Amino acid sequence: MKRIAYFVRTNAVMLIALTLAAVTSFIVPPDEKYIDYFDFKTLTCLFTVLLVVCALKNVRFFYTVAEKIVKHFKNARLAVCALVYITFIGSMLLANDMALLTFLPLGYFVLISAKMEKYMCVTFILQNIAANLGGMLTPFGNPQNLYIYSHFNIPTGEFMMIMLFPFLLAIAMITACCIIFIKPEPLVFSGIERRIPRVRVSIYLLLFAFAIICVFKIIPYWYALIVIVPIMLIMDRNAFLKVDWGLLLTFVFFFIFAGNTSRIEPVREVMSILLDKSTLLFSTLSCQVISNVPSAILLSQFTDNYRELLLGVNIGGCGTIISSLASLITFREYTEHNPGQGLKYLGVFSAFNFTFLLVMLGFCFLIV
């Protein structure tokens, strides 16, 4: 029973997506149009990026690099800033959930080693916000970005310009929070130097760069499967087991749900009316209820306003605990290290996240 409960808790979004796909499949029975629901470029690019990232994690590449950076800082404020910005930058390269899975344990390790546990709640929350908002700038930073970028065929330069000013605002707000809530107390931290297999890491980094080239449509996306999968089968089969298959299946199930929903005429009419009034507001609110990835997939069926949709499903990652899969990952990680403090965490989490959400939403209304 414990294993079942753990599976349900850690795959809640996927199971909800499966349920919605199954229910709507009774309304719209499977037919030849189902194949058009799936964005194979998004699924392929997401899979290959996750695969290479898992291989890099297996050789502790990100952890080792981050640990060396953090060891150079001598007080709590600078150390927390480093942790938060490592997560922020990491989300631009690894996707937000992978960045958190990589760097939250580092945050725990640093704060415990330095006897600064009192900052753990705020640090985890700021790392969570950094992961959600840091990934907004690049097409592969957040899973919903990769989908929207591919679905609407947005030019890379235009994509990054849409997200640039909210991205800069996020940097300013996160920096301000680090300064306000973390004191510059002396920090003593002694990490253990770790060696990484340089040849293996070099190959993985080349494969990562190749996957990103496919994301940017410089070469056809299916080249990533032809090149990366065989090499990874030789070098690190364990990486295939570490891939977040739940995330990939979540996309598959939500593709089915969104495709079916778009073919239900009353739903199509209601959704189109709401999105015509304000795509930005409705997409942001949608994230608070069904999370940002499914919101992006579903709402893209009813609007061509990809600018406001893109802004909405990115800033909408802030807010409720279910607005982003990354937030659920952070909550799980924090409560595992701090049992019995879930309610306290949720209170502080909500205060930070809704403040960020309101400020970011107001700012986006000014620039759209």
User: Quick check: 138 pLDDT over 90?
Assistant: no
More confident residue, 346 or 116: 346
pLDDT at 169: 96
**CA 273, CA 267: separation in Å to the nearest integer?**
10
225, with CB counted inside 10 A (0-12, 13-18, 19+), is middle
Q: What percent of the chain has pLDDT over 90?
A: 34
Question: Lowest mean pLDDT: which of 5-9, 16-20, 85-89, 246-250?
Answer: 5-9
> What average pLDDT does this structure show over 129-142?
87
User: Quick check: 265 pLDDT over 90?
Assistant: no
- Per-residue pLDDT band at 11 (split at 50, 70, 90): confident
- Per-residue pLDDT band at 306 (split at 50, 70, 90): very high
**CA 229, CA 226: separation in Å to the nearest integer?**
6
Q: Where are the alpha helices (DSSP H) in the chain?
A: 2-10, 12-27, 40-58, 61-70, 76-94, 96-113, 120-134, 143-151, 156-181, 198-215, 222-235, 238-242, 245-261, 265-277, 279-290, 292-299, 306-315, 325-337, 342-367
CA geometry: angle 323, 259, 284, nearest 5 deg: 25
Q: DSSP letters along 244-260, please?
A: -HHHHHHHHHHHHHHHH
Find the length of the chain. 368
**263-284 burial, b for 16+ CB within 10 Å, e for fewer?**
eeeebeeebeebbeebbbbbbb
More confident residue, 249 or 328: 249
**CA 120, CA 104: separation in Å to the nearest integer?**
10
Question: Lowest mean pLDDT: which of 53-67, 171-185, 215-229, 340-354?
Answer: 53-67
Place of tokens 């909210």: 166
**CA 271, CA 279: separation in Å to the nearest integer?**
10
> Do the Cβ atoms of 254 and 15 come closer than 8 Å?
no
Which residues, in sequence order, are bridge partners of residue 186? Answer: 75
User: Quick check: 253 pLDDT over 60?
Assistant: yes
**CA 36, CA 31: separation in Å to the nearest integer?**
10
> What average pLDDT does this structure show over 282-298?
85
pLDDT in tens, 73-104: 778 898 899 889 989 988 887 677 777 877 88
Tokens read off for 185: 């107390």
Question: Lowest mean pLDDT: which of 55-59, 154-158, 278-282, 339-343?
Answer: 339-343
pLDDT at 292: 85
pLDDT at 194: 66
Which residues, in sequence order, are bridge partners of residue 75? Answer: 186
pLDDT at 251: 77
